[in-house]
Amino acid sequence: MRIEQESDGVSASRKHLVFAYYVTGHGFGHATRVAEVVRHLILAGHDVHVVTGAPDFVFTSDIQSPRLFIRKVLLDCGAVQADALTVDRLASLEKYSETAVKPRATILETETEWLNSIKADLVVSDVVPVACRAAADAGIRSVCVTNFSWDFIYAEYVMAAGHHHRSIVWQIAEDYSHCEFLIRLPGYCPMPAFRDVIDVPLVVRRLHKSPKEVRKELGIPDNVKLVILNFGGQPSGWKLKEEFLPSGWLCLVCGASDSQDLPPNFKKLAKNAYTPDIIAASDCMLAHILQETAFGKNYASDKLSGARRLRDAIVLGYQLQRAPGRDIAIPEWYATAENQLGHSPRHSSVDDECSIFSSHTEDFEILHGDVQGLSDTVAFLKSLAELDEKHTRRERKAAASLFNLDEEIFVTRAPGRLDVMGGIADYSGSLVLQMPIREACHVALQRIHPSKHRLWKHAQARQNDRGDKPTAVLQIVSFGSELSNRGPTFDMDLSDFKDGEKPISYEKAKKYFAQDPSQKWAAYVAGTILVLMNELGVRFEDSISMLVSSAVPEGKGVSSSASVEVASMHAIAVAHGLNISPRDLALLCQKVENHIVGAPCGVMDQMASACGEANKLLAMICQPAEIVGLVEIPSHIRFWGIDSGIKHSVGGADYGSVRIGTFMGLKMIKSRASEVLAETHANGLNRDEVENDDMELLNKEASLDYLCNLSPHRYEALYAKEIPEHVVGGTFLEKYTNHNDPVTVIDEKRTYGVRAPTIHPIYENFRVKTFKALLTSATSIDQLSSLGELLYQCHYSYSACGLGSDGTDRLVQLVQDFQHSAASISEGGTLCGAKITGGGSGGTVCVIGRNCLKSNQQIFEVQQRYKRATGYLPFIFEGSSPGACKFGYLKIRRRAARNHV
C-alpha cells in the first residue's frame, strides 16, 4: 500500500484510499458479494473502481455514490455452462485461453497503466488471477477475497477434458502468488498458491425490505409456501412442470429467459430483482453448492481436509516435476517436495486425443497408434521434439544427435506394477493379482543403416580403428541418470553380441555388463537384443538408437526394471516387424533379468507390465505364466502404494536366500512324498488297503512341479513336521544333491531359512484365491475387512521369511492405527489392510481401503506421520494405466512443415 510522507517526515497511512476491485466473470454471486464490500468501503470514505463484466444494476441498485467507478472489462470467463448444472470443461479452458492467455501481454500492459493512472493504493481480486500479477507489475500490493481459486477448478477440467491446457493451471497459480494474503471465506476449497490466510465470516448483502413487504409487492398471499430457484443468474436447465411443486407452493425463478414459458405455479423474477430480500421472504431455496465445500470452516480448517481434492487440483504438479518438457516453471510454493502428494488418474476421452496431441507435439505426425490421453506420453513426445534445441546437461546433449527426426521413430510405453497379492510366491507357481500403475517407462527407437548412423566420437573412433566398412552400433541414452548412480549413455558394436556366427552366452553377457558399475543399467535395455538373438534367432543388421525415459521410481518395489525391459523389447520387436505375443514378450524379458542382469525374479512383474490393463487387476497363475483373467476393481475399493524409502532389490541376498529356502522346501516335500510311497509298497499294502485318491495325491506330490500346487491342509497333515526351520547349504546338498532352481546357487557354508519360505507360497496361493473371490462378492463392511485381513496375513508371512523391514512395518502399523480409530469406525470403515510388496526387504507397501474422501485423507496423514517419524516423505502411488501391449506403439516422424533447413 502506498504511504505518504507527512510534513514532519513520519510515515502514516492515508485516510482516503483508492481501491481497484476486480470481479470474476463467473456468475452474479461474486459481483453481489463484491457490491456489499464496496458499499462499506465507500461508507468509510474510500474510492472504489470496480472492474467487472456484470451489469451495472448489481452495484448501482444499492450504491449511489460518486466514489463508485465501474469499468466494464472482462478479464476472466469462469466456467462455460450450458445451464446452471452443466459445465463444458473443454469450452471453459478454451474460452479462458482466448480471454486471458492469448492477450495476456496486452492485458498486463493495459491494467498496469490503468492502475497507475488512478493511483490505486490496493488491488482487491475476487478470484481474478491476472489482476494480482498486474498489481505486482504496477508496484501495488494486492489481496484476494474468495473461497475457491481458478487453479483448483481448472485443474479438474484439465484432467477431464483438456490436458493440452495444463499450463493454464500453473499460470493462474503464479498470478495468485503475487498476493500479500488471502481473505478466505467460509466453505472454501484447498488453495495452495496463497501463502498467508485470514479467515473471515460469510459476506452477504443487507436486507432492504421485510418479507411481508416483498410478498406484498409480488402479490403473494401469506398462506402460499414460497421457494426460490436461484442458480447465480443461470437457467437451471430443467423443463419446469406444474407437478414439480406440492399444492399451495409457488416457485420464483431467477435467470429465466424471456422466451421461457412457465407453469402457473412458477413465476419469473426480474433480471434486476434484489434477491437477498426475496430469499428472506421465501420458505426455502433451491441452489447449487459444492458438496465438498458445504461443510464450511469445520470441514476445511483441518489441514488434511480436502486432501483428495487437493491432489486433483495439482494433478500436473509432482508428475510434471519429473516429466521432461513441462510447459512453464512450477511455482516454488507448490513444489515443496517431490511427490508430496499423489493424484488420481483421469484420462481424456478418445475424442480429445488428437487435440491433446497436436497441441503439445505439432512437430510430429503419428503414422501408427495414438497417445490414448496419457499425459506422460504427450510429455515424452514433447521432449523428443526438443532434442535439437541447445542443452547443457550431458544426457540431453547426447540425445540431440541420437535420431534423424525426419525418419520413422518407434515409441513404446510400459508401466510399473503394484503387487496387490502374490508377491514372492510367483516363482512357486502362485496365482497373483497385479495392478499396472500410472508411472511408466517410455522408449523411443530408430533403426538406421550403419553408413548413415551419426555416432558419438568415441564410437566413431572405434569404427575407424577397425578400418572395415561401417558396422551396426547400438547407442542408448537414459534420461534421469543424474538422479541415479549411472552413466547417461551406453554404446556397443552389435557384433560384440556374437561369437563367430552364434550369439554369445548369457553368462558372458552378464560379465560384459558388470565390467562398469555405472553402465550396468544397460543390461536391462541392450540385454533384450541378445535374448531375441538367442531365443528367436533374430539377426540385427542395422544400427539402433534408443532413448529411455522412465518415471517408475527405482528401488521401490514397483518393477522399475521390468518396465524398462518390456518397453525396450517391445520397441525393438515392433521396429523389426517381430510379432511377439504379450505373454511371450514377458517371458523373454524375464530371461533378460534372470540370465543377463542376474536377478532371480519370477515372471510376475514383466507379465503385469506387458499384459495389464488400466484400473484392473491382472490375474495370473505363474506356471510359468498363464493369464486367467482381468479383475475389475470395484468402484467402492481403492488401492494405494506408499514407498517406505528403503531401497528394494530382487537381486539382494535376502530375496535370493528366501527363494533358495523355498526350493529346498519343495525338494524336501517331494522327497518325503516319495519315501511314503516307497514305504507303502515295502509294507506290501495293496490298493484295497490304501485309498486310490491318497495314492494319486502322493504320486503328484512326489513329482510336484510348483510348491503352490500343494494345498495347506496336505502340507499340515503330512509335511509340516518334516521341514526344518533352518538348514546349512552343505548339509542340504549332501542329502538332496541340488534344489533344482536354475537361477540361484546354494552357498554350502550359509544357513538358510526353510520352514517359513516353504509355508509362505502354500498359504499365499490360498490367500490370493480367496482375495480374488472376495473382490466379486457383495459389497459390505465384512468384504472390505476380510480383504484387508488377507493383506495383513501376507505381510506378516513376509516378515517370517525374513523379508520385512522397519519402514514397511511402520507403514502397516500406521494403516492399522487408522483402521481401528473411532473416526474410521464411524465412517463405516476407511483403510482396511496393508502389506509389503514384491521382493520385500523394503520397497512399497500396498494399501487397500474404501474409495472415499476420508480414506484419502488418512493416506495423506500416514505419509505425514511417516515423515515425522523417519524424516522421509514417502512417494504415494495412486492410479493405473494400460500395459505395454494394450498401449501398443506409436510410429512417428517430424512433420514436413517443421523440418529444419
Q: In this structure, how many other beta carbons lie within 10 angstroms of the beta carbon of residue 73?
A: 15
Pairing between β-strand 181-184 and β-strand 18-23 as defined by DSSP bridges: unpaired
DSSP string for 266-304: EEEPPTT--HHHHHHHSSEEE----GGGTTTHHHHSSTT
3-state secondary structure 344-357: CCCCCCHHHHHHHH
Catalytic residue among 491, 605, 643, 741: 605
Write the CA distances from 39 to 34, 44, 53, 118, integer angstroms: 8, 9, 18, 19
Q: In this structure, how many other beta carbons lie within 10 angstroms of the beta carbon of residue 749?
A: 8
| Separation of alpha carbons 381 and 363, rounded Å | 9
- φ and ψ of 187, to 5 deg: 75, 35
| Separation of alpha carbons 569 and 586, rounded Å | 9
Nearest alpha carbon to residue 876 among 229, 345, 499, 100: 345
| Separation of alpha carbons 787 and 774, rounded Å | 7
Q: Exposure pattern of 643-682 as b/e (b: 16+ CB <10 Å)?
A: bbbbebbbebebbbbbbbbbbbbbbbbbebbeebbeebee
| Separation of alpha carbons 379 and 383, rounded Å | 6
Ranges of beta strands (E only) in 316-455 are 364-368, 409-421, 431-448
CA 62 centroid distance within chain = 49
End-to-end C-alpha distance for the chain, whole angstroms: 53
| Separation of alpha carbons 840 and 766, rounded Å | 20
Ranges of beta strands (E only) in 633-781 are 637-643, 726-728, 751-753
Active site residue 605: yes
C-alpha cell at 382: 514433447
3-state secondary structure of 227: strand
Q: State the Cα angle at 610 between 608 and 766, rounded to 5°.
A: 25
User: Given the C-alpha cell 546338498, which residue does it identify?
Assistant: 733
C-alpha cell at 623: 506356471
* Sign of the four-CA dihedral 608, 610, 612, 613: positive
3-state secondary structure 768-810: HHHHHHHHCCCCCHHHHHHHHHHHHHHHHHHHHHCCCCHHHHH
Half-sphere exposure of 834 (CA within 13 A, CB side): 26
C-alpha cell at 480: 534421469
C-alpha cell at 521: 543399467
Write the CA distances from 204 to 30, 35, 215, integer angstroms: 11, 9, 21
Contacts for 794 with CB less than 8 Å, ≥ 6 apart: 421, 423, 764, 767, 835
| Separation of alpha carbons 554 and 562, rounded Å | 11
3-state secondary structure of 663: helix
Q: Are 403 and 446 in contact (CB under 8 A)?
A: yes
| Separation of alpha carbons 20 and 37, rounded Å | 12
Q: What is the DSSP letter of 728?
A: E
Structural element, H or E, at residue 866? helix 853-870
Active site members: 605
